[in-house]
Amino acid sequence: MTTKRKPGRPRSVDSEEAILTATIDLMIEGGVRDMTMDAIATRAGVSKATLYKWWPSKLHLALDALLARGRIRAPVPDTGSALDDFILNAKGISRFYADPDIGPCIMQVWGECLTSPDMLAIYRERFLNPRRAGLHIIYNRGVARGDIDPRFGVELALDMIYGPFLFRLLTGHAPVDDEEIERIARVAFAGLAPS
């Protein structure tokens, strides 16, 4: 089986990396509003046409940069306790969202995605769903082990744990630290336990 290369000049890997780096850096420095396409192009040493060739809009580029550079640590451990697994996972996620550099960026990008259902769908697919795949594993183990009552369903179960602290991050009305994560998860778990 031979590797078939397409004709023509191949896409420049250097450019792509420079673009993603410039994007995330600008986003961290001055927020999504300062992250203009011109500024990205200039800093990456790239032409604006190249940006628009590979990303249909600023938001798509921001999402990609966030995924590529702001590595999310969402572990899917197997401690023997679904509760502990969830807590470890949620702590990882909250650390990502609460990171002083990345946190504001992701909030702003999330905010921008709220302007249209299409963008919101993209946000879900790229940010939420990949993380949720791991959570399904933890959930299923918890059900099998008898920790979680399967009648509630996986969506409800996950939202009971992740909804409260993500909601907090999106309004800032209360702190989100490891201790709070634990308390939230425990309350949710108590409610989700089989009767």
Partner DNA sequence: CTATAACCGAGACGGTACGTCCAGTCTTTGG
Partner DNA sequence: CCAAAGACTGGACGTACCGTCTCGGTTATAG
Applying CB under 7 A, the residues found at the interface with DNA are 4-12, 15-16, 34-39, 41, 45-50, 52-54, 57-58
Residue with tokens 């290369």: 5
Backbone angles phi, psi at 95, to 5 degrees: -65, -35
Our finding on whether 16 is near a second copy (CB under 8 A) is: no
- Nearest distance from residue 109's CB to a second copy, in Å? 9
The full DSSP string for 21-59 is: HHHHHHHHHHHHHH--HHHHHHHHT--HHHHHHH-SSHH
C-alpha distances in Å from residue 74, one per residue of 24, 78, 125, 127: 20, 13, 16, 11
- Nearest distance from residue 21's CB to DNA, in Å? 13
Query: Which of 28, 72, 107, 122 is close enough to bind a second copy by CB under 8 A?
Result: 107
- Nearest distance from residue 7's CB to DNA, in Å? 4
Q: Which does 75 bind (CB under 5 to 8 A by kind): a second copy, DNA, none?
A: none
Count other C-beta atoms under 10 Å from residue 90's C-beta: 24
**Could you give the 3-state DSSP secondary structure of residue 76?**
coil
Q: Which does 133 bind (CB under 5 to 8 A by kind): a second copy, DNA, none?
A: none
C-alpha distances in Å from residue 147, one per residue of 80, 133, 171, 189, 192: 11, 19, 31, 8, 8
Our finding on whether 168 is near a second copy (CB under 8 A) is: yes
Distance separating alpha carbons of residues 22 and 68, to the nearest angstrom: 12
Q: Which does 111 bind (CB under 5 to 8 A by kind): DNA, a second copy, none?
A: a second copy
- Nearest distance from residue 100's CB to a second copy, in Å? 12
Tell me which residues touch a second copy (CB under 8 A): 31-33, 107-108, 110-117, 120-121, 123-124, 128-129, 132, 152, 155-156, 159-160, 162-168, 170-174, 180, 183-184, 186-192
